[in-house]
Copies of this chain bind each other. A is one copy, B any other.
């Protein structure tokens, strides 16, 4: 961290000059700045505004640029304002991850519902999974690569749980079994772990550029999506190992 950034911390003081010594006599009206209805000064939905600002910062500056202060700056409030709403950096990241999980789940559900053939149905969710991560790498990073998440937060726990439930359900449909919420057979657990590990592993490797090596050696113009498809179909059509 601590990037040598030219962006001054006191950028805001341009429109709200710091009173160095003078007492609180005639404070410049904040209403002038909030006339654009961007962030309605004292009241309004600062919490939501901060989450949206965080998403914007994440898309613009990536994971490294997503700091508490940067988010506050983006929202046009003081750097300590987020504390009151999220308590912590962990709090903000966790709530943002929850937002991401909801988008993620919605994308997969939509893609799954649009499928018609069984083959399409089997490939729809994984493809949507990878597509979301490629479209929102920062968000995916928050959701899956960050140790600074607090899963005890209800919103995050619930959203992540929904993601898992969707996966388990899809596996159950493919196996034509009822996946119980309580207990799993080893075979069921293995099937779920397998599907999840494969797609999640593929996604992280892809986002980290670790698959470039493979993609570059494949027939000209083979996309990551094509490789994903082939990978997922392999256990069905591929040859078995051993003599």
Residue ranges of A at the interface with B (Cβ–Cβ < 8 Å): 1, 63-64, 118-119, 122, 144-145, 147, 164, 174-176, 182-187, 189-194, 196-202, 204-205, 208, 211, 213-215, 217-219, 222, 226-228, 230-231, 233-236, 238-243
Indicate if the CB atoms of A205 and B200 lie closer than 8 Å.
yes
Indicate if the CB atoms of A208 and B175 lie closer than 8 Å.
no
Least Cβ–Cβ distance between A160 and chain B, in angstroms: 8
Which of A64, A193, A238 counts the most B-chain CB atoms under 10 A from its CB? Answer: A193
Least Cβ–Cβ distance between A218 and chain B, in angstroms: 5
Please indicate the chain B residues that have their CB under 8 angstroms from the CB of A241 in the complex: 118, 122, 174-175, 236
Look across to chain B and name the residue whose beta carbon is closest to the beta carbon of A191.
B234
* Cα–Cα distance between A196 and B234 once the two chains are bound (Å): 14
Look across to chain B and name the residue whose beta carbon is closest to the beta carbon of A177.
B239
Indicate if the CB atoms of B147 and A64 lie closer than 8 Å.
yes
Number of this chain's copies in the assembly equals 2
Indicate if the CB atoms of A230 and B190 lie closer than 8 Å.
yes
* Cα–Cα distance between A204 and B215 once the two chains are bound (Å): 22
Contact A186/B222 with A231-B193, A236-B241 known, Cβ cut-off 8 Å:
yes
Indicate if the CB atoms of B211 and A205 lie closer than 8 Å.
no
**Choice from B191, B208, B218, B226 contacting A238 with Cβ under 8 Å:** B191
Least Cβ–Cβ distance between A177 and chain B, in angstroms: 10
| Interchain Cβ contacts under 8 Å between A and B, 6 examples | A63-B147, A186-B226, A189-B230, A193-B205, A194-B235, A201-B204
Please indicate the chain B residues that have their CB under 8 angstroms from the CB of A198 in the complex: 194, 197-198, 201
Indicate if the CB atoms of A187 and B238 lie closer than 8 Å.
yes
**Choice from B164, B187, B202 contacting A197 with Cβ under 8 Å:** B202
Least Cβ–Cβ distance between A238 and chain B, in angstroms: 7
Look across to chain B and name the residue whose beta carbon is closest to the beta carbon of A62.
B147
Which of A176, A189, A215, A228 counts the most B-chain CB atoms under 10 A from its CB? Answer: A189
